[in-house]
Amino acid sequence: MANIFGIGGGEDIYLTVSPACGLEMTQVDKHGNVKSYAQAPLDYNEAQREIADYEAFQKALETVFAMRNINPAKANIHLSLPTVWFGSKEGLPLLLDDTAIDNIVLGELEQTYIFKRTEPMPFWFDNIVSQNSDSRSIFYTAIQASAVSQIKTILAKMNANLVSVECSLFADLKGLAVTGIATTPMRENQSWSLMIVNNSGFQLIGLQGQRILEYYEEPLPLKSYEGEEIYSAIENAVQIAMMSTPSSTLVVISETDLVSAEILAGRLQFAGTTISVEENQFRKEPLMEMSLNILSDDQLKVSLHSIGAQTPAGIMPVDVNFLAERGKGKPQEEYIEIGNMKITPTKACIIVLILGALILIPFAIANSYTQKIMTDAQTRSQELDGQITDLDNQIKAYQNAQGDTAFNPLDEIERVLKNNRTKIMAYAALGESIPRNIYLTYFLTGDDGKINIRGCADSVEEVYVFFKNLKDSLVESQLRLSKLDLKSGSLDKVVNSTVSTLDDAPYVFEITNMNDDELKSFMNNLLGKKDENNDNNNNNNNEQNQDNQNGENNN
């Protein structure tokens, strides 16, 4: 699922080790796009065909991760190592099962000089030629199990996850396919040859389209030759091998700085088309157009090995992974192409299951959410019903306590609002109507609409103006001027016009909408409160005098 749809599992990191390029790292996102590239030098022991120093390998790993600011703990590592050994076995009985072939491959590998001292990790697959014969032929390859173990240990310390391990031969074949270098012979199912030159000699592989038919390896100590001697030695050795492998196209890959693939291809006596690929100092241009995420200086460094290593599985008939089930390579599934995507039956089943889940999950979530909303609404409705029942019981209890008096909530609300509105209007009218030389000493407005205003003034005209303004503002209040008198001793102030303060104002007035009985009752209540206050003050004074007298006696 993660490989098909690019979800989960961290980022895919492709590492390649080669004698010419050292350690290369390519970061690829979940959609197969290259995000970054880094390279670090690393020595490779070509005699033992193994990384020379694993401590140096760890430092190189840390360097490339740091160069591109990648956290190894979130990386899925796909590793491609130089091809350690590749061979073939012919004439096997058709009735042999896979376990028997595993044992035969191990026996063949243990006879080689490399795997006499270390355990091999093999991988084999059937030769297409043997399918129409009376015997069975296979190709097999292997790397050192100890090398994989040490690499796993190093990556485990960095919390990285090693996903796959392949060899450079199959990475180069995939690289030739995706770069378009060998597109024509691969697509048209032509017979063609691949020649790979390195410091240890050369390998010659005969192919039919994308399938390997023959393999030949010739060891040559190239470092012992100088100048033209190198090309002559290779030319003499390869001519015999090429006679047994007729083909229309020859692709020459040079992985050593000692040999130019272009010069070597020009010197070989080959009647067909020759194509040269420089994996060395002689490269002048990048092997293919690359993403802008890779700097122009780095694009020239990217090897065919690295390009092929990051190519998705399924390009070639056989995908090598030494970490997969030990032994036989699994045959490639049939597939159909939709655009640039290859759909196998396994992928189709997975896609159907995931699409079904994607369709059903929203319905399940919506159903769960709807059920929750309904449950919450029912709970809230039950709570409101309980509150309504409690209020009905309180109203009935109130009605029973009041006897036959009917209680109408709406009438009560209307009454309260009306009284409050009357009070607010009275306050507003009072503030708007009062002239400059009117001094109010008392103001009352009640819930029943009754108003009583007392004060004093400098002149009768100002009292009249104030009264008229109130009448105009409170039309329905039925106000009247119930009192307008001179204060005792105020006549001289009126004559002499010596009014300047509230105490000097000579006229007292009272404006009200109460009748005489209501006003008399109001005055009696007011005077009673004053007498009560006076009595309290007298009592307080007597108590104080008594305390003072007691104090003097004590003294």
Report pLDDT digits (tens) over 507-537.
899 999 888 888 888 777 766 655 555 555 5
pLDDT in tens, 216-254: 888 888 888 888 899 999 988 888 778 777 788 999 999
Q: Closest Cα to residue 301, out of 40, 34, 56?
A: 40
Q: Which of residues 104 and 127 earns the better pLDDT score?
A: 104
Q: Domain with 190 in it: what CATH number?
A: 3.30.420.60
pTM metric for this prediction:
0.58
- pLDDT bin (cut points 50, 70, 90) of residue 433 is confident
In angstroms, what is the C-alpha Rg of the chain? Answer: 53
- H helices within 402-459, ranges in order? 409-433
User: Are 216 and 241 spatial neighbours (Cβ–Cβ below 8 Å)?
Assistant: yes
pLDDT for the residue 170: 93
Report pLDDT digits (tens) over 379-388. 989 999 999 9
Q: Are residues 279 and 326 in the same domain?
A: no
Same domain, residue pair 22 and 52: yes
Question: Do 132 and 280 fall within a single domain?
Answer: no
Torsion of CA 45, 325, 139, 303, to 10 degrees: -50
Note the pLDDT of residue 405: 57
Q: What is the pLDDT of residue 4?
A: 45
18-33 as b/e, with b when 16 or more CB fall inside 10 Å? bbbbbbbbbbbebeee
Domain count for the chain, please give it: 4
- Is 478 part of a structural domain of the chain? yes
- pLDDT for position 528: 66
My answer on whether 257 and 300 are in the same domain is: no
Q: Indicate which CATH number applies to the domain containing 103.
A: 3.30.420.380
Q: Which of 62-66, 188-192, 493-497 has the lowest mean pLDDT?
A: 493-497
Please give the mean pLDDT across all residues of the chain: 82
pLDDT, tens digit, 9 for 90 and up, residues 188-200:
888 999 999 998 8
Length of the chain: 555
- Helix-helix angle 145-157:54-67, to 10 degrees: 40
For residue 441, what is the domain's CATH number?
3.30.70.990
Q: Say which DSSP state 288 is in.
A: S
Q: Are residues 160 and 295 in the same domain?
A: yes
> Which residues span the domain enclosing 534?
519-555
**Which residues, other chains included, contact 306 with Cβ-Cβ below 8 Å and sequence gap of 6+?**
14, 16, 21, 24, 26, 37, 80, 171, 175
Distances (CA, A) of 252 to 25, 49, 67, 168, 285: 25, 21, 33, 15, 16
Residues 148, 264, single domain; the answer is no
Residue 492, token pair as written in the block:
């001289």
pLDDT at 330: 42
Q: Are 473 and 465 in contact (CB under 8 A)?
A: no
Answer whether residue 462 shows pLDDT above 80.
yes
**280 and 157 share one domain:** no
The pLDDT assigned to 553 comes to 46
Residue % of the chain over a pLDDT of 70: 82
**CA–CA dist 471, 457 (Å, integer):** 18
Residues 50 and 127 in one domain: yes
The answer to whether residues 134 and 36 belong to one domain is yes
What residues have CB less than 8 Å from 210, skipping those under 6 apart?
173, 177, 186, 316, 317
- Residue 1 pLDDT exceeds 50: no
Mean pLDDT of 171-199: 90
Give the DSSP per-residue string, 228-240.
HHHHHHHHHHHHH
Ranking 78-87, 120-129, 290-299 by mean pLDDT, the lowest is 290-299
> Within this chain, do residues 241 and 226 fall inside the same structural domain, yes or no?
yes
Same domain, 314 and 429: no
Assess if residue 345 is contained within a domain. no
Q: Are 489 and 505 in contact (CB under 8 A)?
A: no
Same domain, 29 and 147: yes
Of 23, 26, 21, the closest CA to residue 60 belongs to: 23
- Kindly state whether residue 339 falls inside one of the protein's structural domains: no
